[in-house]
Structure 1
C-alpha cells in the first residue's frame, strides 16, 4: 500500500532544493528524493559557480525573464544566510572591429532583460581595472559574481528541514503511475517504498526526461529529449591574474572558454563545450590544455600553458544542439494534461543564478493549477 505524502521533489540539485524550499515555505509537506548519496553531486557541483547578470539570453525567453530576479534574490539569500559569495564583477572583452561592434547590441539585449548597470569601456579603461588584460573594448558588468555552491545548497537544505521538509538520499525513482489522486512513485534504495503524492515536481536535471518516461500516464510526446553538453575546466597553478571574471563574447550555445576564480583565489579556465551521447562521462582530456591556453591568450597574453592543470568536467542538460540557443522548459498540466505533475527540463546555465526565481515560478504554477 502506498504511503501518502503531499509534495515530492525529484532531484536534490540546487534547483530541486530551491523548489523544495519554496513549497515548504508555502506550508506544503515536502519530501525531496535524491538517487545519489548526497545532494548536488552532478551539474550543481560541476560548474563555474558564477552569479550571472542576465546579459545574453534571448529577450523573449524564460531564462531572460528569470535572470535578474534570480540574481537579485540569490544575493539577498546569500547575505541573509551567510553563504560565502563575492560581487566581483565581470568584463566581456572584445578584440578586433567585428567584436567591438558587437558590444552595443549585446548591451542593448541585456537592457531589455532588465540589466541596467552595464558600461562599454575602452581597452585602456579595461586595462586600468585589470593590468594583465588584453582587449580593444569591453562591457563592464558590476553585478556579476561568484558563490560557494556547496554552502548555498547547505543553506537550502537547512531551510527545507527547518520548515518540516525531508531530504531522502540514496532514494532513486524507479517508476510510477498517474492516478486519480495524483501520482504514485516507486522509490528504490535500501528500503524500497511506494509514495502516493498530490504534487510531483521533476527536478532531476540530466535525468529529467528519463524520469518522466518512467511514469505511466505522462504522455511521451510531452517529454523533450535532453542533449548533453559536456564542458571541461582547467585550473591555473600560478597566482590569479584577474580579480574580475573575464569572458569572451558569447555564442548561441556557449559562453566560451572564460576565466573565473573561486572564493579561495584559485584561477580556472572553462568550460569548453562538446555534445556527447551519455550523461555520466566526467572524464578529462588533458590534451585540450593547449587549446584552452590559445583561447585565453586572446585576452590574457601572458598565460603560461604549462601552469594549466586538468580540473574537472560538468555536463549540462540542454534542449538544443550545437550552435542553437536553448531555454528552460516548465511543463505543466496545460502541456501534458496530468494534474499535479510539473516537469522542469533543460535547466542549465544560469540555473545556479536563477534557482530561487525558478523555484518561485514553479511554486506559482503549482498553486495556479490547484
Structure 2
C-alpha cells in the first residue's frame, strides 16, 4: 500500500482549487479524477458567470465564499492572464408585481457585501440596453464572465508547480477508514490501494455516492442526491445586449437568463428540469418555454433564432419544491472521521467561489491535523 499525505477526489474547478491551496501550503497532494481530463462535468457545463454574491442568505457559505472568491478570482485571472470581463448584469422586472422584488434582492446583496448595486428605472435600464423591455432593473457592475477552462488550467498549473500530481482515468471504487489513515481503492481494472492522512471528497455529482462507499463514514450523514438539469440554447448572431440579463429568480434557479461569452455569443438558460439520472442531451422541444421566458424582457426575439446548445446538472441536496440549499463542507466535527472532508451540493456559485472554497478546506484540514491525532 502506497502512502500519500493528501488525496483530493475530483478534478473539477473546486477540486483543483483545493489541491492548489493544499499544495501551496506545503502538503503532498494527489488529485484523482475518473474522467479523461479535468473539469468535464459541472465545471464546464455552466454559464461561465462570475457571480457577485447577490442572491444567497446572509452568513451562508454560498454568500461568504462567493463574495470573497469573486475578488480572489478576478485578481488571480488578472495576474495569470486568464481572459475575463466585468461586463455587469441587469436583473429585470418585467411587470409591476416583480418590481418590489428588486429592492429585496438589492438589500440581500448589500447585506452580503456586494458593492455597486443600483436600482434603475425602466428608462435608465433601456439607456444602458436599448433592446431591453422591463419595468425596472437592478444593476450589478461586479458581475462578469470568464473563460472557465483557461481558469481551471491556470489553477492546475499553480497546483502542479507547488508539487500536486493529477491522475485522470482513475475512478475511486471505495475507501475505508483505518487506524492509520484512510485507504482508497483506485481503478476498475488492476486497482491499486493508496493510504492518505487527508481525503477530500470533491466528486461533484458523485460526491454522495462516493461518501456512501467510504467504510467508516456514518451512512445517516450521507445526503440523498437530487439532480436539477439546466438546458441552454444559443442565439444565432451576436448578442443584442452588452451585459448579462437576468429575470427575477424562480424556484430552483435564477430563471432563463441571457449570458454572453468572451466572443460576444449569446446563450440563454439554464432552465430547471428535475431528473432522476445524469444525462447531457438537450431536448429541443424545450425551446418553446425559452421563447416565452426570453420575450418577457426581449420581445424582439425572432422565431427560429434559438438552437439547442448544451446542458448541465446541478448537484442538489434537496428535492423539487424544498427550500434552497447551502454548500456543505462536512468534516470530522460532523461525522467523526479524522482526515475526511466531504463537499456536498457545490453548485452555482461554485465556479466563482472556488479559490475561497479551496482556502476554507485547507484551513479546515489544518485544524483537523492540529486538533486531532490524525495519522
The answer to whether TM tops 0.5 is: yes
| 1:237 partner SS | strand
Aligned to 1:34: 33
TM-score (normalizing by structure 1): 0.98
Point out the more displaced range, 322-331 or 126-135: 322-331
Aligned to 2:114: 115
Equivalent of residue 282 in structure 1, options 280, 283, 287: 280
Aligned to 1:319: 317
Aligned to 2:254: 255
Aligned mates of 1:304, 1:326 — CA distance in 2:
36
Name the count of aligned residue pairs: 368
Aligned to 1:360: 359
Aligned mates of 1:48, 1:191 — CA distance in 2:
38
1:252 Cα deviation after fit: 4.0
RMSD (CA atoms): 1.0
Aligned to 2:244: 245
**What does 1:55-66 align with in structure 2 at a 5 Å threshold?**
55-66=54-65
String of CA shifts for 1:335-363, please: whole Å, max 9, x gaps: 11000000000000000010011111111
Equivalent of residue 293 in structure 1, options 273, 291, 294: 291
| 1:305 partner SS | coil
| 1:134 partner SS | coil
Aligned to 1:200: 199
1:190 Cα deviation after fit: 5.6
Aligned mates of 1:59, 1:320 — CA distance in 2:
20
Equivalent pair of 1:54/1:113 in contact (CA under 8 Å): yes
Equivalent pair of 1:253/1:326 in contact (CA under 8 Å): no
TM-score (normalizing by structure 2): 0.97
**What does 1:1-370 align with in structure 2 at a 5 Å threshold?**
2-188=1-187, 192-278=191-277, 280-323=278-321, 324-370=323-369
| 1:68 partner SS | helix
String of CA shifts for 1:295-348, please: whole Å, max 9, x gaps: 000111101130100000100101122233111001100111000000000000
Aligned mates of 1:137, 1:251 — CA distance in 2:
17
| 2:304 partner SS | helix
Point out the more displaced range, 137-146 or 96-105: 96-105
Equivalent pair of 2:115/2:142 in contact (CA under 8 Å): no
1:83 Cα deviation after fit: 0.7
Aligned mates of 1:332, 1:343 — CA distance in 2:
7
